[in-house]
């Protein structure tokens, strides 16, 4: 599963503002948009751009659980 990460901060109920965006390897303050999740075959992923900090990943997981509960 993949979710879009963008620097266009809208802060909707489907967004998670990343607190540790620099540690994730991002260039600008960003958010994860959870309203357009997609599934991809692993072979379609060309490269890894970064990794969410554990605290941000926890919030993303919690938000996903609340959206699909």
The 10s digit of each residue's pLDDT in 11-46 is 788 999 999 999 999 999 999 999 989 999 999 988
pLDDT of res. 48: 84
Name the pLDDT band for 6 (thresholds 50, 70, 90). very high
Name the pLDDT band for 61 (thresholds 50, 70, 90). very high
> Where along the chain do its domains lie?
2-68
Three-state SS annotation for the chain: CEEEEECCCCCCCCEEECCCCCCCCCCCCCEEEEEEEECCCHHHCCCCCCCCCHHHHHHHHHHHHHHHC
What predicted TM-score, i.e. pTM, was given to this entire model? 0.84
Check if the beta carbon of residue 41 is closer than 8 Å to that of residue 21.
Answer: no
């Amino acid at each position: 599963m993949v979710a879009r990460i963008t620097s266009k901060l809208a802060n909707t109920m489907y967004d998670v503002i990343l607190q540790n965006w620099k540690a994730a390897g991002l260039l600008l303050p960003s958010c994860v948009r959870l309203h357009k999740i997609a599934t991809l075959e692993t072979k379609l992923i060309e490269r890894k751009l970064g990794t969410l900090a554990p605290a941000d990943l926890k919030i993303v997981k919690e938000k996903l659980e609340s959206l699909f509960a």
